[in-house]
A and B are shown apart, each in its own frame.
Chain A
Amino acid sequence: MEGMTFIVKTITRLLIAVIFSFGIYITVYGHLTPGGGFAGGIMLACGLILLTLAFGKKTALGKLSDFWASLLDNLGAFTFWSIAMLGYVGGYFFFNFLEKSDPFQIFSSGTVLVNNLAIAIKVFASIFAVFLALTIFGRFVSGLISTEDEE
């Protein structure tokens, strides 16, 4: 059987939605409560790493392969940079060009929310990619992650 024991798989199945929704909450409410894109993105990556350890590499790579991880990484960095460049519409680099409304609302802070989302996507993809690179690539493969395409 691929992955860890039955107990770990059941607990993971219960917890994975909670972990992902908490990561998204930390990201989206980053400008209102403590947290932000970096912490939220790492929480999302933690969820996917838990999935990899519990169910084996086939399930996790089916959800997000290494190609898509590096693509998302590039996409997040590119989005962040383009928001910075769009600031030239209003005058200067990193200008907060979106409309700002009353504080303590979700859409209250202009580009901060969009920047948070971009950083979360970028950190999520890149941390998962580092995990893939260190554990699945090359020879660092052990019993927990199956080794069927080794020659």
Chain B
Amino acid sequence: MLFLFYTLIVFCIIGSIIAIEARNILASVISAGVVGMGLSILFLFLGAPDIAITQVVVEIIVLIILIRSTVSLDNTAITKHRDTFAILSSLIFFGLFLVFAFMAFQGLPKFGEPLMSVSSQYLQNSVSETGASNIVMGILLDYRAYDTLGEATVIFTAILSAFVVLRAKGKKKREERDKIRVGIPGKDDLPETVAEIDEESESVSNI
């Protein structure tokens, strides 16, 4: 069993390295999806089917949305050369992080032996107190429903801001529509100086 875990973890690490290093955006999106699938299999073997189901479904939807929004972009390949200083500094800081993480994780309890007694309380009383035979749901929507409310608020705020930023039609009237449309404008569409922008708005308002 432990061998399977290590294989899957190495698989996920290789997938994420490919996702970072690939020059094509589509290829890196697909390898990020591979990492998520490996993670969901890992959750399944660790005995957490709830998280495995959610991981699979979220991974699929993220893959679809990312592919749909990257495929239609013109510039999908990175042409810039790499910065040596950035790579060196990130490697040094990553090494420092690994050293300190190793020192910090020495003090954690062993895997599967929790230090706290709260979880055993949940396991004993969940079915009689909440009535939900799926203990995960009982904790998520009864004992810890405040957390779920916070998560719902996060999603709500994200959708609200996406709708405000990405909407197709502005709240202005049709005649005074900006020349720059929502999205990534082409080079010819952009006015070059401030004076030009003023000129345009004046001519629009004159009409």
Contacts and interface: CB of A to CB of B under 8 A. Distances in A.
B181 A139 contact: yes
A31 B50 CA distance: 11
A113 to B, nearest CB: 9
A49 B153 contact: no
Contact of A133 (B72, B140, B166): B166
Contacts of B167: 133, 137
A109 B131 contact: yes
A110 B141 CA distance: 11
Given A26-B53, A46-B60, A133-B166, A101 B131 contact: yes
Interface in B153-199: 153, 155-156, 158-159, 162-163, 166-168, 181-184
Nearest to B159: A126
Nearest to A80: B152
Nearest to A145: B68
Q: Is the interface of B mostly helix, strand, loop or mixed?
A: helix
Contact of A110 (B61, B65, B68, B131): B131
Contacts of A133: 162-163, 166-167
Which range contains the number of B residues in contact with the other chain? 35 or more
Interface string B68-111: 11011100000000000000000000000000000000000000
B153 A108 contact: no
A142 B70 CA distance: 11
Interface in B98-127: 127
A42 B134 CA distance: 20
A87 B140 CA distance: 16
A39 B138 contact: no
Interface string A59-82: 000000010001001101100110
Chain A interface mostly? helix
Given A80-B152, A116-B141, A131-B68, A137 B166 contact: yes
B145 interface: yes
A94 B137 contact: no
Interface string A11-51: 00000000000000010001111111011001101100100
Given A30-B134, A112-B137, A139-B184, A36 B50 contact: yes
Contacts of B155: 122-123, 126
B138 A38 contact: no
Given A96-B130, A138-B183, A77 B156 contact: yes
Contacts of B203: none
B57 A39 contact: yes
5 contacts: A31-B141, A39-B54, A115-B145, A131-B64, A134-B65
Interface of B: 49-50, 52-54, 57-58, 60-61, 64-65, 68-69, 71-73, 127, 130-134, 136-138, 140-142, 145-146, 148-149, 152-153, 155-156, 158-159, 162-163, 166-168, 181-184
